[in-house]
């Protein structure tokens, strides 16, 4: 109750309680995102702008480097112009050096007038080149107008030399005059007046002396003309020195102009590089400032997010903890009773037993799956020999069909020609000439020879199929067999299929190699190795990757070792296996064959064969061959890279024990060769029946 004044006597109604605002987490998250975006928008935009500006720096630097390099090349070319100017200077004066000066001056003018040199350089560079060209022209003109003073001095000395011979007073005076003038021809300008006075004194003595008894060429005044010409040598030497000084002055002027042009080019190149470096430094400084601003903005955004997390989560959790304590959930209160704890423990034990049962079920399922996979791999190994023979059976059947067609044609020919030799009753026909009868007999003989050869081929193929599909003998009943025969029979079975793909198959095996192994299993191993090479050659993705140029040849070789074992090698020149194939077929390196990581064949690791069948068929073929070799032959395959390209597969087989008196050419059952006289009785009857037909 509140009192409102003396005139009010009714009680005031209480105000309704204020409702707490409903939490809106989406609005809070949106607000926080807007704050963070506002903090990062400006620095991010600035940083992106600076990064785009910095991305243009390599282009600018490359342009600057190209300009500087071009200016440096121009400077080096200008140094070459200095050499041309030097050639103009050192060329012989007069007509003797006219061609050399003309060529050097024309090259200098052509190079100096190139507009590409003056495109990016300052105007002072072009002015220096023009001055140098003008100086070079004046230097060439002066050298062309100069008299050959050295030749004239040498000519005057040569005219005076004949008169120095003899012992008379005039000869001695002329000798002294010749020596003084020769020294004057090499003297500098300061010594020329003294040498000229000395020369005039010796000339006066020579003229005053009595003439020599010997008159040169019969002219008594020739000596006076020689003396007169020789007395001009000091003046000629002075003129030569003056011309040389003038040329040196012009050359120094032109050379200084060219050196100035070269310095201008190099200075411009250095200025371009310095300007580009300063621009790059400014760009990097601005980019650093933008990155620092972005980092500060990110730090501020992180602080805002942390503050919002503290305000939105930590404080409510603190309030919740305080309310729990106020409601009696104090962690410092007394513990739970023994009955409640026992019930909790029983529930925990029950949950653990349920989890153990589920785990045991999972282990049983995994064991069953592994056992099923092992059973499937064993089934694959058991059917592998028949599958290998059956895969090549089409080619063998086609070859047998071709052979039988040839047999039929030859039999028909023999029957037709034999009717010309005898009647149906067996008598000789009188209406056939002796020549025709002889020809018919010859054709019948050739047909019989061809029939015999074709029947032998068919019998050989049938014998090969019977040998390769023979059952595997176990234990002591396994008989030795000639390795060469097994390889020949394998080549006979594989030959038609390989020949249809233009693939050659070469066999290299000694005739005395005898092994104790089932022929069918060994043939299946060889067939799967050849099948792997053909699958690699037929793989289109591998051709696109450029791994090889196809399969053209396979070589089977046998080497007898000193350890009573035969090493069988199959080399092919096809494409190299892919990395995935190598990973599937190569064994893990280890010191012990029983280590967990060691590959022990598909009968122990069937999951690798399943993966190979899905991803790499050539690897699956090699794995099947390796599994057959491990299970039936007792030796694994060694798969390596070929000598040039392709692969090399090696298999080590035990040779026949010493002292075994069984025939190495016998088959696995101990019988003789079916092709021989004591072989399979069905084959001779087959041959005889075809021949009689």
For position 672, what pLDDT does the model report? 38
Rounded-to-integer distance, Cα 637 and Cα 652, Å: 8
Q: How confident is residue 4, by pLDDT bands cut at 50, 70 and 90?
A: very low
Instruction: Kindly report which listed range (9-13, 151-155, 158-162, 335-339) carries the lowest average pLDDT score.
Output: 9-13
Rounded-to-integer distance, Cα 153 and Cα 144, Å: 19
Tokens of 387: 């599958």
Q: How confident is residue 372, by pLDDT bands cut at 50, 70 and 90?
A: low
Strand ranges of the sheet holding 504-508, from the earlier edge strand across to the other edge: 504-508, 553-560, 565-572, 647-654, 638-641
Average pLDDT over residues 447-458: 76
For position 33, what pLDDT does the model report? 80
pLDDT surpasses 70 at 31: yes
Instruction: Kindly report which listed range (69-83, 311-325, 339-353, 536-550) carries the lowest average pLDDT score.
Output: 536-550
pLDDT surpasses 70 at 156: yes
Rounded-to-integer distance, Cα 505 and Cα 531, Å: 13
Q: How confident is residue 146, by pLDDT bands cut at 50, 70 and 90?
A: low
- Coil vs helix vs strand at 456: helix
pLDDT in tens, 375-419: 555 555 555 566 666 666 666 777 777 777 777 777 777 777 776
pLDDT surpasses 80 at 555: yes
Average pLDDT over residues 521-531: 85
Rounded-to-integer distance, Cα 486 and Cα 467, Å: 8
What is the Cα gyration radius of the chain? 57
Q: How confident is residue 469, by pLDDT bands cut at 50, 70 and 90?
A: low
Q: How confident is residue 333, by pLDDT bands cut at 50, 70 and 90?
A: low
Average pLDDT over residues 312-327: 72
Distant-in-sequence, close-in-space partners of 437: CB < 8 Å, separation ≥ 6: 420, 421, 429
Mean pLDDT of the chain: 72
pLDDT in tens, 598-649: 445 555 566 667 677 677 888 888 888 888 888 778 888 888 887 767 889 9
Instruction: Kindly report which listed range (66-80, 359-373, 494-508) carries the lowest average pLDDT score.
Output: 359-373
Tokens of 611: 């993966």
Higher-confidence residue of 692 and 473: namely 473
For position 392, what pLDDT does the model report? 64
Within the chain, what is the greatest distance between any pair of CA atoms?
Answer: 182
pLDDT in tens, 648-674: 999 998 887 654 544 444 444 343 343
Q: How confident is residue 690, by pLDDT bands cut at 50, 70 and 90?
A: very low
This prediction has a pTM of: 0.39
Q: How confident is residue 689, by pLDDT bands cut at 50, 70 and 90?
A: very low
pLDDT above 90 as % of the chain: 1
Average pLDDT over residues 497-515: 86
DSSP assignments along 353-403, one per residue: HHHHHHHHHHHHHHHHHHHHHHHHHHHHHHHHHHHHHHHTHHHHHHHHHHH
pLDDT in tens, 102-136: 887 778 877 777 777 777 788 888 787 888 888 77
For position 163, what pLDDT does the model report? 74
Q: How confident is residue 332, by pLDDT bands cut at 50, 70 and 90?
A: low
- Coil vs helix vs strand at 660: coil
Residue 356's Cβ-count burial label (10 Å; 0-12, 13-18, 19+) is exposed
Instruction: Kindly report which listed range (138-142, 263-267, 639-643) carries the lowest average pLDDT score.
Output: 138-142
pLDDT surpasses 50 at 215: no
Instruction: Kindly report which listed range (255-269, 478-492, 533-547, 555-569) carries the lowest average pLDDT score.
Output: 533-547
Average pLDDT over residues 456-480: 62
For position 536, what pLDDT does the model report? 86
Average pLDDT over residues 213-222: 57
For position 3, what pLDDT does the model report? 40
For position 591, what pLDDT does the model report? 37
Residue 61's Cβ-count burial label (10 Å; 0-12, 13-18, 19+) is middle
For position 546, what pLDDT does the model report? 47
Higher-confidence residue of 20 and 505: namely 505
For position 16, what pLDDT does the model report? 55
β-pairing, 565-572 with 647-654? antiparallel
pLDDT in tens, 33-88: 888 788 788 888 888 887 877 777 777 777 778 787 887 888 788 887 877 777 77
């Amino acid at each position: 109750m509140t009192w409102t004044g003396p005139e009010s006597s009714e009680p005031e109604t209480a105000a309704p309680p204020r409702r707490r605002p409903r939490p809106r987490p989406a609005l809070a998250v949106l607000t926080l995102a807007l704050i963070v975006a506002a903090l990062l928008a400006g620095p991010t935009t600035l940083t992106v702008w600076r990064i785009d500006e910095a991305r243009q720096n390599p282009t600018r630097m490359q342009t600057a480097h190209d300009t500087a390099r071009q200016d440096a090349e121009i400077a080096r070319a200008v140094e070459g112009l200095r050499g041309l100017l030097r050639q103009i200077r050192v060329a012989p004066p007069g007509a003797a050096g006219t061609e050399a000066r003309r060529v050097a001056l024309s090259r200098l003018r052509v190079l100096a007038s190139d507009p590409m040199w003056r495109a990016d350089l300052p105007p002072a560079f072009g002015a220096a080149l023009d001055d140098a060209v003008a100086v070079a022209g004046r230097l060439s003109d002066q050298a062309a107008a100069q008299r050959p003073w050295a030749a004239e001095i040498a000519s005057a000395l040569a005219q005076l030399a004949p008169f120095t011979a003899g012992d008379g007073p005039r000869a001695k005076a002329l000798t002294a005059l010749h020596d003084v003038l020769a020294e004057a021809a090499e003297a500098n300008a300061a010594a020329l007046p003294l040498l000229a006075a000395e020369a005039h004194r010796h000339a006066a003595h020579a003229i005053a002396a009595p003439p020599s008894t010997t008159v040169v060429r019969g002219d008594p005044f020739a000596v006076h003309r020689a003396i007169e010409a020789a007395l001009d040598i000091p003046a000629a030497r002075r003129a030569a020195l003056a011309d040389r000084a003038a040329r040196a002055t012009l050359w120094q002027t032109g050379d200084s102009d060219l050196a100035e042009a070269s310095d201008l080019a190099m200075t411009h190149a250095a200025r371009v590089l310095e300007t580009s470096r300063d621009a790059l430094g400014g760009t990097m400084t601005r980019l650093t400032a933008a990155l620092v601003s972005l980092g500060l903005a990110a730090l501020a955004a992180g602080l805002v997010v942390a503050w919002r997390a503290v305000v939105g989560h930590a404080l409510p959790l603190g309030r919740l903890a305080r309310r729990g304590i106020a409601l009696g959930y104090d962690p410092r209160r007394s513990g739970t009773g023994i009955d409640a704890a026992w019930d909790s423990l029983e529930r925990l034990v029950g949950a653990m037993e349920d989890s153990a049962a589920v785990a045991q079920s999972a282990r049983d399922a995994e064991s069953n799956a592994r056992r099923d996979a092992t059973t499937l791999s064993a089934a694959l190994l058991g059917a592998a020999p028949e599958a290998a023979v059956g895969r090549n059976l089409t080619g063998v059947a086609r070859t047998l069909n071709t052979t039988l067609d040839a047999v039929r044609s030859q039999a028909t020919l023999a029957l037709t020609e034999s009717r010309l030799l005898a009647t149906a009753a067996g008598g000789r026909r009188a209406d056939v000439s002796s020549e025709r009868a002889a020809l018919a007999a010859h054709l019948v003989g050739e047909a019989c020879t061809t029939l015999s050869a074709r029947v032998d081929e068919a019998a050989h193929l049938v014998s090969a199929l019977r040998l390769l599909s023979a059952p595997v003998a176990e234990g002591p009943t396994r008989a030795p067999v000639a390795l060469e025969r097994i390889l020949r029979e394998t080549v006979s079975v594989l030959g038609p299929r390989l020949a249809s793909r233009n693939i050659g198959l070469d066999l290299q095996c000694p005739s005395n190699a005898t092994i104790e192994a089932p022929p069918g299993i060994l043939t299946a191993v060889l067939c799967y190795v050849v099948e792997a090479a053909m699958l690699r050659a037929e793989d289109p993705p591998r051709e696109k990757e450029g791994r090889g140029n196809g399969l053209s040849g396979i070589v089977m070789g046998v080497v007898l070792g000193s350890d009573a074992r035969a090493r069988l090698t199959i080399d092919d020149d096809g494409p190299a296996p892919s990395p995935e194939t190598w990973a599937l077929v190569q064994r893990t390196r280890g010191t012990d064959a029983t280590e967990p990581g060691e590959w022990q064949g598909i009968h122990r690791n069937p999951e690798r064969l399943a993966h190979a069948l899905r991803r790499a068929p050539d690897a699956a073929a090699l794995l099947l061959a390796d599994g057959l070799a491990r299970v039936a032959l007792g030796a694994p395959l060694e798969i390596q890279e070929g000598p040039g390209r392709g692969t090399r597969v090696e298999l080590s087989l035990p040779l026949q024990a010493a002292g075994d008196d069984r025939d190495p050419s016998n088959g696995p059952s101990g019988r003789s060769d079916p092709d021989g006289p004591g072989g399979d009785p069905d084959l001779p009857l087959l041959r005889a029946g075809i021949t009689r037909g």
